[in-house]
Structure 1
Amino acid sequence: MAEDTEWNAALRAQGILPAEPEVTEDQINEMLDQVISEKYGEKALEDRNLDELDELEDEEDDRVLEAYRRQRIAEMNAAARLEKYGTVTQISKPDYTVEVTEASKDTWVVLHLFQNHIQACKLINGILERIAARYRSTKFLKIVADQCIPNYPDRNVPTLLIYGEGDLKRNLVGIEQLGGMGTTVDHVEKLLKSIGAIHDTVLTTRRGDGDDDEESDQRRSGFRVNRASKEDEDDDDWD
């Protein structure tokens, strides 16, 4: 269409096509009146009294509020579809590909490698249960360590494997990388947020909204990974 207009303009410049008729001010006003009439009725705006104008304004406000209401409902429904987990589910090795690798293509997956007889694993399991209940769009799983990786040493548990986009994004090996035996829900929560594995959604309600964590109010879509410090990366060993 743009090329056709330019071609016609060139032909008119050469006198081959007649010049386009100019649009007069009266024609412009007539077109404006038509638009106003279609939107607000036959009576032009300048002919309406204050009460009629207020009524139009109220109608417009109602339309805006209704549009906003529909948008919020759509957002909440979308969030509800995402927030479908909420617990830490135990899996076995045959489940790994589907429950972890494949599932992480659509959502973040946090997998805890644990041993029942190790106190630090009990601590982390309890912490992850509380975090999973808050961040229901992230899938939290656990698996007995040596059932997942044969001969996996007890000194390496608890281990968190964090998946996103179908790949392993981070591995946190041992209780020290998770804050030691004195670690808390808030500490592990902030750690998972810094990696990008959990994020607030429109339906998430949490205590401590005054938290000064930069990402506590940030909404994310898709995946994003913030790398840890060089010291943490150097400590990411499995044996």
Structure 2
Amino acid sequence: MQDPNEDTEWNDILRRKGILPPKETPKEDEEEEELALKQQSIVKTYEDMSLDELDENEDEFGEDDEAAIEMYKQQRLAQWKATQLKNKFGELDEISGQEYIKEVNKAGEGIWVVLHLYKQGIPLCTLINQHLSQLARKFPQTKFLRSISTTCIPNYPDRNLPTIFVYHEGEMKAQFIGPLVFGGMNLKVEELEWRLSESGAVKTDLEENPKKQIEDKLMSSIRSSLPTRKDSESEDEDY
């Protein structure tokens, strides 16, 4: 008797005519097909997951899936880095009060925002805008914004200007209010950079507070100009 599962031209004709049943699939082939479908299903699940979701669900998958999970993690990480690269700002942008929520409160995950409230005609505000323009170019990952004070906060008093607010992911992390905080028109861009780095808004390459360096030099200059004890005694002898 001819084997119905045999690969012959005659058996193929009989199968097409429905005389012979379809060829039986070997058990090993069925297991391989089932495994392929399972892997396809798992891959599809991975494709739908974010980097955080892959981390959260990692324990739910078996050891056989570790390689696939790691591959998709690397893909998600690369996608995240690409997104971060797009978050390069590099300019001190002007915003209105209507744009405040979008640009500040909803700036995005991981984004630091430095917002300067100012008014035209106030020299220190003008100086800080110049400094912030420099810092925006130096630290393009941080969003630097400025806004006329009363457009963001109605009736905001001029005596509080300049004002700088620092936000991270929409939450305020630091505030600098009024001219005394900034030290007046002698404010250097490095000093402002240091203050912002202390709040976390920028990662400075300065090793120490430039204000301290200036104060140390000033004190050193004053001490060197003062007469020594020996000089004082000589002057007393002259009288």
Aligned pair count?
A: 132
Say whether 1:212 aligns with 2:207: yes
Structure ranking higher in helix proportion: 2
Q: Distance in 2 between matches of 1:87 and 1:118?
A: 21
Q: Identify the residue that residue 113 of structure 1 maps to in structure 2.
A: 117
Deviation of 1:142 (Å): 0.5
Q: Distance in 2 between matches of 1:156 and 1:81?
A: 35
Deviation of 1:165 (Å): 2.6
Ranges in structure 2 where 5+ consecutive residues have no aligned partner = 1-77, 210-239
Higher RCO (C-alpha 8 Å, min separation 6): 1
Deviation of 1:177 (Å): 1.2
Q: Identify the residue that residue 56 of structure 1 maps to in structure 2.
A: none
Say whether 1:126 aligns with 2:121: no
* Root-mean-square deviation (Å): 2.5
Moved over 3 A (4+): 77-80
Q: Distance in 2 between matches of 1:116 and 1:160?
A: 15
Matches within 5 A, 1:134-213: 134-199=138-203, 211-213=206-208
Q: Is the 8 A contact 1:85 1:139 kept in 2?
A: yes
Q: Which has the larger radius of gyration?
A: 2
**Residue identity opposite 2:90 in structure 1:** G
Matches within 5 A, 1:1-239: 81=85, 84-103=88-107, 105-199=109-203, 211-213=206-208
Ranges in structure 1 where 5+ consecutive residues have no aligned partner = 1-73, 201-208, 215-239
Deviation of 1:166 (Å): 1.8
**Residue identity opposite 2:207 in structure 1:** D
Q: Distance in 1 between matches of 2:83 and 2:195?
A: 23
Deviation of 1:106 (Å): 3.1
Cα distance change, pair 189–104 in 1 and its aligned pair in 2 (3 A): farther
Q: Deviation digits for residues 127-158 of structure 1, max 9, x if unmatched?
A: 00001100000000000001111111111111
